[in-house]
Structure formats: C-alpha cells, structure tokens
Amino acid sequence: MGTLRYSINVTLDGSCHHEAGLPPDEESMRYWTAQVREADAMLFGRVTYELMESAWRRPASGTWPEWMRPWEVPFATAIDRARKYVVSSGLDAVDWNAELLRGDLVRQVARLKTEHARLSVGGVTLPVALAQHGLIDEYEFLVHPVVAGHGPPLLGGLTGQLRLELVDRRELRSGAVVTRYRPAS
C-alpha cells in the first residue's frame, strides 16, 4: 500500500494562502523540487490544479516565461512532467499529464494508493476531506518565519482533533522549518 503525503507551505500563524507573503527562495524551491521528483503522482483539487497549472505548466512555445528565475526552472520542469490526479465535480476534463477523478473519494484514493508507492497532495480544501477519512499517511509543513494575519488556515474545517507525532525536522537557512508528521497511534 502506498503512502499519501500532504505537503504545504504555511506561515507561523497557520495561513496556507499562496499570497500570504511566502515568496520562494532557492533553498525552498530545491526542497520542493526534490519532493515532486520523489512522488509517483500528485493529487490536487480543482483550485490547486488550476493555480499550479497557470504558474508551472510549460508554455506551448517550450520557453519558460521571463518572470521565472533560473532556480525555479527545475521545479517547473519537475511539476510539469509529474503525473497528476484532479478531484473535481466542476471540471469536465483535464490535461497537463492529469486524470480527472470522480465518484467516491475514499475509494478513488484507496485505488491510487495501491497503484503508486508515493502520492503527494497539496492545497487547502481537498486535504481536509482526506484527513477526515484518515487517508493521509504523512503531513509535511514548510513553516515560514512570516505572520500573514490573513488567509485560509491549515486544515481549516477539520471536524475533529488530529493527533500527530514528529517524524522529521529540518531547518533551512531562511529560518523556515520543514516538519514531517504521521498520525499518532
């Protein structure tokens, strides 16, 4: 059975909004690039899929946009090539190496966990549903030394307490800290 890891950037006050003052730096981008490369496939909800696609999909010209810094290109290349699954009732179709998932979420994710050794999920809404059903095997948070004061909270809407045990911790030069947890037994 494969492992599903929830990975996300988060501020000290628990905001997961991509515009909450979490600008990428070279070290964090190298970290996320390695995580994307290690995953067999990525799982997204509609909003995260569309956000990631708009930022990181290779343009039809084959040339990365001018705004992209050279140290962001490896991440863009890795996520562009990654296998993706999209959970959405609002989309009719997806592309960008993606498959649309419909129907019973628990059954669909259980199937993916038998087909892939390592799945990665990001975003804000979908991970709450996955956590509610006990489908997330690892939680990975890159906590930035920023207090946003706004934005969606980490796992906001979770109806019960989620007890976790620390598995790994790593400090980055920027002051950000990567923490990895698994559900406590």
146 vs 185: CA distance, rounded Å: 31
The token duo for 114 is 């038998």
99 vs 175: CA distance, rounded Å: 37
Nearest-CA neighbor of 52 among 43, 61, 63? 43
- What pLDDT is attached to residue 24? 80
Selected residue with higher pLDDT from 41 and 18: 41
pLDDT tens-digit profile of 45-79? 999 999 999 999 999 999 999 999 999 999 999 99
How confident is the model over 91-109, as a mean pLDDT? 94
pTM of the model: 0.93
- What pLDDT is attached to residue 40? 96
- Show the CA angle centred on residue 155, arms to residues 47 and 53, nearest 5°: 20
Q: State the average pLDDT for the chain.
A: 93
Whether the per-residue pLDDT at 43 is higher than 80: the answer is yes
